[in-house]
Amino acid sequence: MRSLRELLERAAPPGVLEAARVLQAWEKVAGEDGLRADAEYRSGRLVLSASTSADAQELALRSESLRRRVNQHLGAEVVRELRVRSGTAR
């Protein structure tokens, strides 16, 4: 019998489950640190959109540490790059 994960991986478009896992890991990291930023993920790149330039600067200064922590939650080196945008968070 196949696991639910195996069935979902076969049924979902490529990258959808990985993106969901990355975004969930980002929410955990953000929640631990009280950070707020919208996030998008595609092909190894996590893009954070901060609502203010001050928030964007903080995220940019901590980007490598945040990237490592997201990967730590994932248990693998999934996020290879973390970028920050300013003024576009919803």
pLDDT digits (tens, 9 = 90+) for 6-46: 766 666 666 788 999 999 999 999 999 999 899 999 999 99
pTM: 0.81
pLDDT digits (tens, 9 = 90+) for 69-90: 999 999 999 999 999 998 754 4
Tell me what pLDDT residue 12 has. 62
Instruction: Give counts: helices (H), strands (E), the chain.
Output: 4, 3
All residues at 6 or more sequence positions from 63 whose CB lies less than 8 Å from its CB, including other chains: 82, 83, 84
All residues at 6 or more sequence positions from 69 whose CB lies less than 8 Å from its CB, including other chains: 29
Say yes or no: domain 4-86 is CATH 3.40.30.10: no
Tell me what pLDDT residue 89 has. 46
Tell me what pLDDT residue 26 has. 97
Tell me what pLDDT residue 57 has. 95
Per-domain residue ranges of the chain: 4-86
Tell me what pLDDT residue 16 has. 82
